Chains A and B, each alone.
Chain A
Amino acid sequence: MAKRTFSIISNCILLFVVFGPLFVLIFHADQNFIFTAADKAALEFTLLQASLSSLLSVLLAWPLALALSRRQFKGRQLLIVALSVPFILPVIVAVLGLLSIFGHSGILNSLLQFFGFPILSVYGLSGVLLAHIFFNIPLATRAFLLALERRPTELERVADGLNLMSLTRFWILDWPIIRFVAPQIFSLIFVLCLTSFAVVLTLGGGPKATTLELAIYQSFRFELDFGRAAFLAFIQLCIAAFTCTLSILIFGLPTNFNSGFDRPLRKRYLSVWSFFWDFGVIILLGLFLTVPLISVLIKGIQNFYLIENTIWIPIINSIILALCSALISTILAMGFMNRWGEVVGTLSIAVSPIIIGAGLFLMVRNITNPFEITFWVTLTVNSVMGLPFSIRIMRPASNEIISNFRRLSHAHAMSPYAWFYWVYLPRLKGALTYSMGLVAALSMGDLGVIVLFGGADFETLPLVIYQLMSAYRTEQAMASAVILVSISIGIFLIFDRIGKTRNA
């Protein structure tokens, strides 16, 4: 009962924050529901790049996750942590990192030129995909890896004992995981790419690579046509809702593994061929994901001397914001622990922050001036934005606990609170802290609504980086970005450590 009430409350909060602003905005001004030829072109390109980006990310992440799950090597943990970084970098910094490798004057082209080959241009659809894969493989890999680690090791032993052929083995052991996780992750990445705009434009090389989000931004900022902006945002929302429903409700099937005894697998029977394959995958994708980061790090560290004392305040602001968002997001996510919840929860990132910000303003302007409560507005939006991530991390774990222990606790006639405190929470701890770590890191790096709601009195680190970039100070911005990333990783690791401590 309590669970149900909580679920209803969190759904209401989400609907209030996501749909409220959208509809208020649509009905606020003149309704301009015209869909131009340029919009159509933008929509087509948006769908193309988002589907391809998410498909490729998922396809590439699977072998990487599999390789990471069955190989132990020095630096594995570090690599897994480093995998979360692209995701939290401010967009422009990540783009500069990527371009230092793949760009017109990047390392790759310098090498090609040195050996007398023609220069390869990254700009175009390939560039968009490259960037989106770079941002999203890590997310997909982590999701697969978590699922693989939860798979009872007994299954592998039995498979080894039966000497199953690789295809059969894949069908019985791996496919259920893919079937469960891939649609979840596909839909999440799809929605993330759907609303991507600065990256798509920059790496897409021109107006051919225009997404709907640009049209929303243009209507909002330049044409002051809020009705149209909200209308386009609504179309975007419908696409996201359709994709999520399709992938999660129709293609997503829960795994039907029974529970194991949490015993480690001491010996694996793996072929030599798979050894080369696994390390090939790890090295190739590992390099792809880490070299741009290393380039960002080098550029940033070189310029550390430019950093000024005043950066402490935005740092503290950002940390407070990140921790609060992580907490709220994770608690809210517990109300979405079913398939519908997952679909609904994903919609929060399908509406651009600028629309949410503007709509929220209209909703609360009679009560207070939201520009005076920047912190609360930003916190609300960040928490809701973190929701899809929290849900995806915690739902598999939550399902498993419920299916494995529900009957046992019924048999013991446990009260709901005892169940929650003694059974549910301790077992969810790993997923819970990972979710908090990830949302905190995300929130750290998010510029979000603060651009609209401004910040003379409330500045965050991403905002400062943005300001530095617009004051010619690219180098100082890069240095600050390194600070941002270090703090994000720090928070992430602390949560990770908390998650791994044993329960009393």
Chain B
Amino acid sequence: MNPLNLNRLEPAEGRSRHCPEPLSASIRREEMFKLTFAAGLLSAGIVMAQNPILTVYAPDYFTSEWGPGPSIEAKFEETCNCDLVFSAGELLPRLVLEGQNTKADVVIGLNTDITKKARELGIFSPHNQDNSRLNLPVEWEDEIFLPFDWSYVSFVFDTTKTNLPNNFEELASLPENIKIVIQDPRSSISGLALVLWIKQIYGDNAAAYWQKLAPKILTVTKGWSEAYGLFTDGEAAGVLSFTTSPAYHIAVEEDNTKQAAIFKEGHYPFFELAAKVKSSENDVLSSMFMKFILSDEFQDLIPMTNWSYPSAQAVEKWPSVFSDLPMPQSAVYLSENAASEITKQAIEEWRSALSQ
């Protein structure tokens, strides 16, 4: 055991460099040892077989040691009398490949911009939770997809290099040597969110705005992590990320210089969602898990592990690092139908404007 790891038992705010690790890390570590010594020769399913198993498909960042997965697993297993097994990887492509034979009971980590496709697959069943318990910047009426966290898409800047722009026009007219990195809307969900955000605000003038913004864009990356890596490495002064990203730097690195620019036009909210799989044989357990998502136990874990706002908690319950963050005035939200109608055009406008 690394003694430094002990400070994970402290309350969230007091944390220094070593940051939120799951309460269950030591348990999990032993478990992982056992598992991995088999080095893939055995599948996880064979090793633990007594309790009923709840299989949850989740993205890699979610299940990793540094994501919310492990602590959520431990918390849920305290009460469910079951074995929660995360299965990491691509979500939708995998569900499509598996079709009716999927092992998934619950899927967690979908985004609003792909829910239309996901809904059309017809493999999810209603979450049966009370949507009024949610505390989101928009009215949530979806019966299938349940948000478990959210954040606003935003540009995060290194304030030692530049002042924060207050709107899109100021962003485009930042000094010449101040550059930003964005993500490709064709390969990254946050990149897509930006394109939709700008399309919603500028409408027919979106292409013109992209042309204006083009000289500011140092480069476009495949995904969020590449872009953020370039930013923290000092290659660019700003990066397309989330309003909650600075919380990581404040809480873990005690670094207050990285701040999100809050735009007057309003921000595009980004929800992460969970859904129950229709073909699941564990309906009781998966319903229990959906209920668990809205509970304080789950919601408490979200901010400091997934670096986003919890979806069903009043602001007063958020860690102060989060409630102290500047909050955009309004949300520029697109329903999935509205989004899917303009997506193709918005991406094409982005592509042709930036290809010149």
Task: Decide: A469 and B36 in contact? CB cutoff 8 A.
Answer: no
Chain A residues numbered 196-233 whose CB sits less than 8 Å from any CB in chain B: 197-198, 201-208, 214-215, 217-218, 220-224, 226
A457 to B44, CA, bound (A): 6
Chain A residues near B232: list those with CB within 8 A: 472, 474-475
Contact sample, A vs B, 10 pairs, CB 8 Å cutoff: A38-B348, A99-B230, A205-B218, A207-B220, A214-B222, A222-B186, A358-B93, A365-B98, A373-B43, A471-B61
Interface residue A421 (Cβ < 8 Å from any Cβ of B): no
Min CB gap A281→B, angstroms: 30
Chain B residues near A224: list those with CB within 8 A: 92-93, 96, 117
Top 7 nearest A-B pairs by Cβ distance? Answer: A375-B40, A454-B89, A467-B64, A471-B66, A454-B88, A469-B225, A372-B43
Task: Decide: B32 and A467 in contact? CB cutoff 8 A.
Answer: no
A215 to B351, CA, bound (A): 13
Known: A202-B221, A310-B65. A466 touches B60 (CB 8 A): yes
Task: Decide: B60 and A470 in contact? CB cutoff 8 A.
Answer: yes
**Which one of B127-135, B233-241, B295-303 contacts A?**
B233-241
Task: Decide: B93 and A220 in contact? CB cutoff 8 A.
Answer: yes
Min CB gap B184→A, angstroms: 6
Q: Which of B43, B65, B307 contacts A472 (CB 8 A)?
A: B307
Task: Decide: B88 and A455 in contact? CB cutoff 8 A.
Answer: yes
Contact flags B280-309 to A (C-beta < 8 A → 1, else 0):
000000000000000000000000000100
Q: Which of A96, A208, A369 contacts B233 (CB 8 A)?
A: A96
Task: Decide: A309 and B43 in contact? CB cutoff 8 A.
Answer: no
Known: A99-B233, A469-B229. A454 touches B36 (CB 8 A): no
Interface residue A451 (Cβ < 8 Å from any Cβ of B): yes
A372 to B103, CA, bound (A): 10
Interface residue B179 (Cβ < 8 Å from any Cβ of A): yes
A123 to B180, CA, bound (A): 13
Interface residue B50 (Cβ < 8 Å from any Cβ of A): no
B113: nearest residue on chain A (CB-CB)?
A222
Of B1, B44, B218, which is in contact with the most chain A CB atoms at under 10 Å from its CB?
B218
Of A454, A458, A464, A474, which is in contact with the most chain B CB atoms at under 10 Å from its CB?
A454
Contact flags A456-488 to B (C-beta < 8 A → 1, else 0):
111100011011111111110100000000000
A124: nearest residue on chain B (CB-CB)?
B219
Interface residue B224 (Cβ < 8 Å from any Cβ of A): yes
Interface residue B354 (Cβ < 8 Å from any Cβ of A): yes
Min CB gap A123→B, angstroms: 5
Task: Decide: B89 and A453 in contact? CB cutoff 8 A.
Answer: yes
Chain B residues numbered 56-104 whose CB sits less than 8 Å from any CB in chain A: 60-61, 63-67, 69, 85-90, 92-94, 96-98, 101, 103
Task: Decide: A206 and B41 in contact? CB cutoff 8 A.
Answer: no
Q: Which of B92, B219, B233 contacts A123 (CB 8 A)?
A: B219
Known: A38-B351, A201-B220. A104 touches B235 (CB 8 A): yes
Min CB gap B220→A, angstroms: 5
Chain A residues near B61: list those with CB within 8 A: 467, 470-471
Interface residue A396 (Cβ < 8 Å from any Cβ of B): no
Residues of chain B touching chain A, judged by Cβ–Cβ distance below 8 Å, are 1-2, 5, 17-18, 25, 29, 32-33, 35-37, 39-41, 43-45, 60-61, 63-67, 69, 85-90, 92-94, 96-98, 101, 103, 114, 117, 177, 179, 184, 186-187, 192, 214, 217-226, 228-230, 232-236, 245, 248-249, 252, 307, 348, 350-351, 354-355
The secondary structure that dominates the A interface is helix
Chain B residues near A123: list those with CB within 8 A: 218-219
A202 to B223, CA, bound (A): 10
Task: Decide: A313 and B43 in contact? CB cutoff 8 A.
Answer: no
Task: Decide: B96 and A457 in contact? CB cutoff 8 A.
Answer: no
Task: Decide: B85 and A103 in contact? CB cutoff 8 A.
Answer: no
A52 to B224, CA, bound (A): 29
Task: Decide: B101 and A317 in contact? CB cutoff 8 A.
Answer: no
Chain B residues near A358: list those with CB within 8 A: 93, 97
Task: Decide: A467 and B67 in contact? CB cutoff 8 A.
Answer: yes
Chain B residues near A453: list those with CB within 8 A: 89
Task: Decide: A371 and B66 in contact? CB cutoff 8 A.
Answer: no
Interface residue A320 (Cβ < 8 Å from any Cβ of B): yes
B224: nearest residue on chain A (CB-CB)?
A470
Task: Decide: A313 and B32 in contact? CB cutoff 8 A.
Answer: yes
A369-B103, A456-B44, A458-B40 given; 14 more Cβ-contact pairs under 8 Å: A202-B220, A205-B219, A214-B187, A222-B192, A224-B93, A308-B5, A313-B32, A375-B40, A378-B40, A451-B60, A454-B89, A469-B228, A469-B229, A470-B223
A399 to B271, CA, bound (A): 60
Task: Decide: B39 and A317 in contact? CB cutoff 8 A.
Answer: yes
Interface residue A420 (Cβ < 8 Å from any Cβ of B): no
Chain B residues near A217: list those with CB within 8 A: 186-187
A198 to B351, CA, bound (A): 17
Task: Decide: B351 and A104 in contact? CB cutoff 8 A.
Answer: no
Interface residue A361 (Cβ < 8 Å from any Cβ of B): yes
Q: Which of B214, B223, B228 contacts A474 (CB 8 A)?
A: B228
Chain B residues near A454: list those with CB within 8 A: 60, 63, 87-90
Task: Decide: A207 and B218 in contact? CB cutoff 8 A.
Answer: no
Chain B residues near A471: list those with CB within 8 A: 61, 64, 66-67
A467: nearest residue on chain B (CB-CB)?
B64
Task: Decide: B90 and A221 in contact? CB cutoff 8 A.
Answer: yes
A306 to B307, CA, bound (A): 19
Of B1, B88, B179, which is in contact with the most chain A CB atoms at under 10 Å from its CB?
B88
Min CB gap A358→B, angstroms: 6
Task: Decide: B355 and A100 in contact? CB cutoff 8 A.
Answer: no
Chain B residues near A103: list those with CB within 8 A: 235
Interface residue A119 (Cβ < 8 Å from any Cβ of B): yes
Min CB gap A126→B, angstroms: 13
Chain B residues near A104: list those with CB within 8 A: 179, 218, 235-236
Chain A residues near B97: list those with CB within 8 A: 226, 358, 361-362, 365
Interface residue A258 (Cβ < 8 Å from any Cβ of B): no
B96: nearest residue on chain A (CB-CB)?
A224
Interface residue A164 (Cβ < 8 Å from any Cβ of B): no
B98: nearest residue on chain A (CB-CB)?
A365
Task: Decide: A308 and B60 in contact? CB cutoff 8 A.
Answer: no
Of A208, A458, A464, which is in contact with the most chain B CB atoms at under 10 Å from its CB?
A458
Task: Decide: B66 and A320 in contact? CB cutoff 8 A.
Answer: no
